[in-house]
Amino acid sequence: MQLGKNLENALNEQIREELASAYIYLSMAAYLETQNLTGFAHWMRQQSNEEMAHAIKFFEHINERGGRVLLQAIEQPPVDFDGPTDIFEQALKHEQYISSRIIDLYKLAQKEGEYASFSLLQWFVDEQVEEEESALQVLEYLRLIGEKGQGLLMLDRQLAQR
């Protein structure tokens, strides 16, 4: 059974979203490097790597199901931010956006009877719960300790361990 055209198109769009996510997080890492917050930058580079791996999962699924991968253009990500709290607020909002897209993919697969895609999409549903929780946790730490002083440096060291 071959992948349906509607789901194939939607999965190709999701590849673009995952690559764009990787690009956004890499841009955040670059900014954090300029702020000498190398632990935060490391966390964002790791996040970027995860998003690339997610794009590859969709890429492989389309191919395994007899579809055709069509890569789409991605926009330049933002390059300036108002500090780590702003970055993690944006990261959380972005993860929530990606979660909504994954849910829409799941609904489309259900509607079209694309049962072979359910396990992949369920993995992504579970992954998005983790992604949102991870970004929220760092954001809550930042809100608790602020962006100045020893607390920020301690959090920076902790994030370097990811």
Cα–Cα distance for residue pair 105/56, rounded to 1 Å: 16
Name the residue with tokens 């993995």: 123
Residue-wise over 51-61: b if at least 16 C-beta within 10 A, else e? bbebbebbbeb
Question: What pLDDT was estimated at residue 148?
Answer: 83
Distance between CA 13 and CA 15 in Å, rounded? 5
> Mean pLDDT in the chain?
96
Q: Does residue 58 contact residue 13 with C-beta atoms inside 8 Å?
A: no
Name the residue among 143, 134, 141 with its Cα closest to residue 157: 141
Q: Phi and psi of 16, rounded to 5°?
A: -60, -45
Segment 32-51, tens digit of pLDDT: 999 999 999 999 999 999 99
Over residues 133-160, the mean pLDDT reads 92
Residue 2 confidence class, pLDDT cut points 50, 70, 90: confident
Dist CA 89 CA 86 (whole Å): 5
In this prediction, residue 146 carries a pLDDT of 87
User: What is the reported pTM?
Assistant: 0.94
- Condensed to tens digits (0 to 9), the pLDDT of residues 96-127 reads 999 999 999 999 999 999 999 999 999 999 99
pLDDT tier at 20 (50, 70, 90 boundaries)? very high
> Do the beta carbons of residue 66 and residue 114 sit within 8 Å?
no
What distance in Å separates the CA atoms of residue 101 and residue 109, rounded to the nearest whole number? 12
Question: Residue with structure tokens 């909002």?
Answer: 93
Q: Residue 69 belongs to what H/E stretch?
A: none
pLDDT in the model for residue 147? 86
Contact 143, 155 (CB under 8 A): no
Task: For residue 157, give both structure tokens.
Answer: 């060291």
Contact 28, 135 (CB under 8 A): no
Assigned fold of 5-159: Ferritin (1.20.1260)
